[in-house]
Amino acid sequence: MPAPTTAITHLVAGLWLFNVLIDTGGQLAFKAAAGDPDAGDGLARWKHMASRPWLWLGVGCYAIEFLVWIAFLSLIPLSEGVLLGSINIVAIMVAGRFLFGEKLTRLRVAGIVLVTLGVAIVGLGG
């Protein structure tokens, strides 16, 4: 692979970071939409969700993420891209811990550390 120019590297890093943020934002929005205890059941639940911003915020995040991910993958090898994208798993677990008080068991922490380590190896080593 030819050495990428600095501008491209910055663009790749920026797109990667933006993708993590917007993916996490979208998942949290869907969680907020789906977890609303007043929502009811069946069709009424969907109507309730559709009348509130959370569902649409989630859809909007995913639409933007779709484009960001295409741009990101067009600049780096696909095998590297999917590995770097695994950081989204870590981000959503950490966000769940802080926002919804979800427990981080020892096994979860081990998983988070391993995925982060793997992403770091790929990101630094190429």
Partner 1 sequence: MRRGYFYLFGFLLLMGFDTLAQVSFKYAGTQALPVSASLAWLLRVFGQPWVYGAVIGYIGAFFTWMTLLKHAPIGPAFAASHLEVVSVMLLSVWLFDEHLTTPRVLGAIAIIAGIVCLGLAESREHVPETDSAPA
Name the residues that contact partner 1, by CB under 8 A: 1, 11, 66-67, 69-75, 77-83, 86, 89, 93, 105, 107-108, 110-122, 124-126
| Token pair recorded at residue 117 | 């380590």
Our CB check for partner 1 shows the closer of 9 and 86 to be 86
Contact in structure between 31 and 100 (CB atoms under 8 Å): yes
| Token pair recorded at residue 103 | 């427990």
Closest distance to partner 1 from the beta carbon of 37 (Å) = 19
Our CB check for partner 1 shows the closer of 21 and 73 to be 73
| Token pair recorded at residue 75 | 């600049």
Closest distance to partner 1 from the beta carbon of 76 (Å) = 10
Residue in the block written with tokens 């009348």? 51
Contact in structure between 54 and 32 (CB atoms under 8 Å): yes
Our CB check for partner 1 shows the closer of 28 and 119 to be 119
Contact in structure between 33 and 52 (CB atoms under 8 Å): yes
Our CB check for partner 1 shows the closer of 15 and 32 to be 15
Closest distance to partner 1 from the beta carbon of 12 (Å) = 10
Closest distance to partner 1 from the beta carbon of 53 (Å) = 21
Contact in structure between 28 and 44 (CB atoms under 8 Å): no
